[in-house]
Amino acid sequence: MDKSKFIKNIPALSGFNAEFTKKLTELMEEKQAKTDDVIFSEGAPSNHLYIIEEGEAVIIKKLSEETEKVLSVIGENNIFGEMSLFSSVPRTASVKAKTKLLYYKIPTDAFKKILATDPPGTQKMLETLLFLGLGRLEQTSRELATVYEISKIIVKNLSINEFSHEIVKHLCVSVPDVDTGLLYIWNEFTEDYEPYGTYGDTQKNAVDCKHPLMAFLADKSETIILSKEDKEISDIISKEFAPMKSTLISPLVKEKLLGFIILGNSAKQADYQHRTCDLLNSVSLQLIDALENIKNQEEKSAKARLDRNTSGSVRF
């Protein structure tokens, strides 16, 4: 791809003049990465910024020796590592390739020097980067609020049915452009995925292992935005579960598929963003442990009732 044309597709760089663009193309070093390759690690020096031409990358924060959290997914025509323009402190998170990646690496110091060639373009770039930063902050705030509210639901000591309904209702209220939802959980006795929580205009149909939706989810572990290419599965969902013009599916995976959440909009074709998927991925991780705990507690209670009934029925 022609580097000059490519730069004009980058929102933060599209306002610069021809002189700046020419100098920037000379600084851009083309790089490639395979899935899971590390672009830079948390704690590394902040001396480059990056632009993605093809593929996706993930921003990851290490929470402990064993735990990492995906903060965001970055797609094509986006900049990352831009904090090196404002601070020389070491990287506060890592970035890895989520898919095969084609990107450009730009030395920060050299980039700063050519900014002087176009002050209006620089101002527009800073405004765009500020807007993007505020968007990420809004996403973080929304995620924290949602996780907090779900934590409050978890400690209510609800039954699995009550818990599921509360969760789906909260997600339909808090997730942008969602008005309909279903939460399906694996039932080992019926060997089906059953709807334990619903909200909106839904049908409570169980799903067996041979259903087309199960084949679709077989290799999925993160939230999926159904696209035009997924028309067959979209039509099945609208016909069998809930009428939706746009759909998100979040698998609940812990070694195997424990369940899944279907969320969507029944009124319009919503343009869901990566940050919505990030939010639902965080919620899914939170729900897996909560649902397992509730099911274990209910099984213990059922066993205790059975033991009491059995012992009470013994006569000598």
Tens-place pLDDT, residues 59-106:
988 877 777 777 778 889 999 999 898 888 999 999 999 999 999 999
**Where in the chain are all domains bearing CATH 3.30.450.40?**
156-311
3-135: CATH superfamily: Jelly Rolls (2.60.120.10)
Q: What is the mean pLDDT of residues 13-22?
A: 90
**Whole-number pLDDT of residue 316:** 43
Q: What distance in Å separates the CA atoms of residue 310 and residue 133, rounded to the nearest whole number?
A: 62
- Classified as helix, coil or strand, 14 is coil
Portions of the chain given CATH number 2.60.120.10: 3-135
Contacts with 225 (C-beta within 8 Å, 6 or more apart), sequence order: 247, 248, 272, 277
Amino acid in position 123: Q
Least confident of 133-142, 229-238, 243-252: 133-142
Point out the least confidently predicted range of 36-40, 44-48, 84-88, 305-309. 305-309
140 pLDDT tier (thresholds 50, 70, 90): confident
Mean pLDDT across 48-63: 90
Nearest to 32 by CA among 105, 110, 106, 81: 105
Q: Is the pLDDT of residue 302 over 70?
A: no
For domain 156-311, the CATH superfamily is: GAF domain (3.30.450.40)
Out of 91-105, 123-137, 246-260, which region has the weakest mean confidence (pLDDT)? Answer: 123-137
Higher pLDDT: 139 or 188? It is 188
CA pair distance 275, 139, nearest whole angstrom:
6
